[in-house]
Amino acid sequence: MSDAIRLLEERASSAGLSWPLRPWPRTGDVRERLAANPFLMAPMAGVSDRAWRLMARAGGAACAVSEMVSAAGLHYGSEKTWDLVRPDPAEDALAVQLFGSDPHLFEEAAERVAERLGAKLLFLDVNMACPVPKVVRKGEGVALMDDPLRAHRIIAACRRGLDRAGLPVPVTAKIRLGRSPYAPSAADVAHAIALAGAAAVSIHGRYGSQGYAGASDDEAVREVARGSSLPVLASGDVRSAERCVELARCPDLAGVLVARGSYGNPWIFSDALRLLHGERVPVHGVDERLGALELHLRLLGLTGEHVLKGRQIACHYVRGLPGAAASRRRIMAAVTLDDFLEVIETLRCRAASAEDPGQIEAEGSWSL
């Protein structure tokens, strides 16, 4: 049994999380699978590593997507790149997101990812959304929004690679509304990739030129969804369980991607599912919050991630707790797991001795 599995067995339930992980259906088309659970953990470079994905899944995410992985990087055999797609033994399944611009490299990458991951590979996603200049300059990421023909060829290439590996899992794409408001192209790209056999499309309701700022345009996403034959997952400004449900109830949409809304809140997925089914949502009190933080920090080490990633993670979990401001300074100076655990212990004591439970909310909001 892996160390991460043992840890989750011991600690998930006291942190309000589920173990074993609830598997997402592997059969049926994507729309049917999303009907079982429409809330997915979005790909986030530098964030959605093995520990993050396990927390999201234990928090109820239908499935989780890897950080974006370079198809060229896999071609050149960099083990550092391959490490991004390596699932932890505790992960029953994951989706892998590839980025690049050369259909041949996508075909090869799809085949090799399928060979390495085997039955753990749920689906393959193609990034057509990343706005980072060094990616876009090479014709990758959101640059593909200007080139529907290339987008079509990339999806078709991925399908060929998966077929060759004997693992024809669904191929999906993550797009934006366009590269800039002057060139809205989501409808054209969705059409092009549907013709190439894509199984679904996620749409981030911003343009590439917006980066991650400004409001995500739900109406524009829904308009593209209404004109597309593909199941559409919405992404953008999904910061609460209520918002997840609002989107999931839109008849045009088939699913929802949670990205920054999962910062310090792995329960967002199961809370959303409960709300969707008309059930009460539990309060995640201090014990659960600090329990989940400790679990996440321990998972970092056990899944081969650097413990310093814990600084950002911890700052999100402690928001709103009594003593959060002082603990943030200690968190940013923490170097070892023990340093982090000491801060957690102090916060546990502070919470236990807080005279007024209302104080827990007073120092800040839980939401982002």
Ligand X SMILES: Cc1cc2nc3c(=O)[nH]c(=O)nc-3n(C[C@H](O)[C@H](O)[C@H](O)COP(=O)(O)O)c2cc1C
Name 256's bridge partners: 39, 234
Catalytic residue among 130, 158, 250, 315: 130
- In the numeric block, the tokens 């693992």 are attached to 167
Question: Which lies closer to ligand X via its Cβ, residue 19 or residue 99?
Answer: 99
CA distance 342 to 37: 37
Per the CB < 8 A criterion, the answer to whether 298 and 327 are in contact is no
CA distance 201 to 190: 7
Q: Least separation, in Å, of the C-beta of 175 and ligand X? A: 9
Spatial CB neighbours of 225, under 8 Å, sequence gap ≥ 6: 203, 232, 234, 252, 253
Per the CB < 8 A criterion, the answer to whether 84 and 121 are in contact is no
Q: Phi and psi of 112, rounded to 5°?
A: -75, -35
CA distance 193 to 174: 11
Question: Which lies closer to ligand X via its Cβ, residue 216 or residue 303?
Answer: 216
Q: Is 349 a catalytic residue?
A: no
Q: Least separation, in Å, of the C-beta of 359 and ligand X? A: 29
Straight-line distance from the first to the last Cα atom of the chain, in angstroms, rounded to the nearest whole number: 36
DSSP 64: B
Spatial CB neighbours of 157, under 8 Å, sequence gap ≥ 6: 103, 104, 106, 107, 110
Q: Least separation, in Å, of the C-beta of 190 and ligand X? A: 15
Residues that bind ligand X (CB under 6 A): 42-47, 67-68, 97, 127, 129-130, 174, 204, 212, 216, 235-238, 257, 259-261
CA distance 182 to 185: 9
The catalytic residue positions are 130
